Amino acid sequence: MKQIGLLPLETYVRTAAEMAQWGRELPKGHGLGIAVHRSFVTYVATVVEVAVDGEGRLTIPGVWSVMDAGTVVNPRHAEAQLEGGTLFGLSNALFGEITAKRGEVVQANFPAWRVMRMNESPRKMEVRIVESDAPPGGVGEPGTPPAAPALANAIFAATGTRVRRLPIFAADRSDRIAKEVGR
Amino acid sequence: MKLSINGQAREVDVDEDTPLLWVLRDHLGMTGTKYGCGVAQCGACTVHVDGVPRRACVTPVGSVAERDVVTIEGLAGAEADAVRTAWEAIDVPQCGYCQAGQIMTAVALLKEVAKPNDDQIDQAMAGNICRCATYVRIRRAIHSAAGDDS
């Protein structure tokens, strides 16, 4: 039996890029970012498209993701898990701040702990499961790790601003994305 | 206190300011309506009061006496059937905890707007959090339930 993960990372990066039509002409203020990661013996590559308007407001119009989890028993559920894991990662990268004060978590409930909602989720989301007879890897969490770097890279592509701290919209920071001069 | 739950007359011995959620869950044993945040931020406890979605966790039971309360257990009609069918066909739920609330809100939307567009869906559903992030499938399932397969 073929071992999982013999394909180089490049294959997954190329597949995700193709799915997102990497290199296409983007509307003004839009940017694409890509990332790939291996976790739970599974590879996931993700492309995120962001749009940053003139006031620095961020939206995520599209997400494309490919997963090689070896043998997949239930492809429909694997697709759903990849979608959910990816959006969970984007939600945490955007808002998921947890801090402690005097031994107690400050964000005790949703009023103080923002999570992605329906109106903030991408209108376009495409996922693909690689066909493989290799031993199975995980499908629940591997969507999560590449989401944040793909998002941060997309913000750089759109604005020239590098994200250096997560979450992007922490409570003590602006809810707008700064743009580099001239972008 | 006399209540109408899912078309049935029920009588409960509770204070008027008891949240409807706890009357449903603890006094009537109807656990389909979920406790999420307790402060009307997540939508897991959504029920219909006279056909309108309400957060049961912040609704004093005294305010719904002599009004029609419908929970996920009693949700019926063409829109509810279409939503259940679409939810199954599209495999929407993951952990499932928020889904009773999602379905209550979705059915109320479809009763109001027969063929909602993405903006109308997003606006109606923004109050229902899903930590599994099934949002993309919920949106697709609402379109499907509206007969708007794309």
Residues of chain A contacting residue B91, judged by C-beta atoms under 8 Å apart: 76-77, 80
Give the pLDDT confidence of B10-57 residue by residue, as tens digits: 999 999 999 999 999 999 999 999 999 999 999 999 999 999 999 999
Average pLDDT, chain A: 93
Q: How many domains does chain B have?
A: 2
Domain identity same for B57 and B87: no
Cβ contact B129–A87 (<8 Å):
no
pLDDT at residue A182 tops 60: no
Domain identity same for B40 and B95: no
CA distance A74 to chain B (A): 12
CA distance A1 to chain B (A): 31
- Predicted pLDDT at A4: 57
CA distance B76 to chain A (A): 25
B 66-105 near A (Cβ less than 8 A): 91, 94
Residue B150, in any domain of the structure? no
Give the pLDDT confidence of B104-133 residue by residue, as tens digits: 999 999 999 999 999 999 999 999 999 999
Cβ contact B123–A83 (<8 Å):
no
The CA-atom distances, in angstroms, between B136 and each of A62, A116, B53, B101 are 11, 12, 21, 16
- In terms of DSSP H, where are the helices of chain B? 20-22, 78-89, 99-112, 118-125, 135-145
Please list, in sequence order, all residues whose beta carbon lies within 8 angstroms of the beta carbon of residue A55, skipping any fewer than 6 positions away: A176
Amino acid in the structure at residue A133 = D
Last residue of a domain, one of B70, B90, B115: B70
Last residue of a domain, one of B17, B42, B70: B70
Is the entire prediction scored with pTM above 0.90? yes
pLDDT at residue A3 tops 70: no
- Predicted pLDDT at A179: 76
Residue B124, in any domain of the structure? yes
DSSP-assigned beta bridge partners for residue A105? A100
Give the pLDDT confidence of A55-101 residue by residue, as tens digits: 999 999 999 999 999 999 999 999 999 999 999 999 999 999 999 99
Average pLDDT, chain B: 97
Domain identity same for B62 and B105: no
Domain identity same for B29 and B62: yes
Q: Which fold has domain A9-159?
A: Aldehyde Oxidoreductase; domain 4 (3.30.365)
Dihedral (C-alpha) B17, B19, B25, B31: value to the nearest 10 degrees? Answer: 160
The CA-atom distances, in angstroms, between A37 and each of A41, A63, A145 are 10, 16, 7
- Predicted pLDDT at A155: 97
Residue B38, in any domain of the structure? yes
Domain identity same for B63 and B84: no
Boundaries of every domain in chain A: 9-159
Domain identity same for B97 and B119: yes
Domain identity same for B58 and B93: no
CA distance B26 to B13: 12
Domain identity same for B60 and B30: yes
User: Is the ipTM, as predicted for this complex, more than 0.90?
Assistant: yes
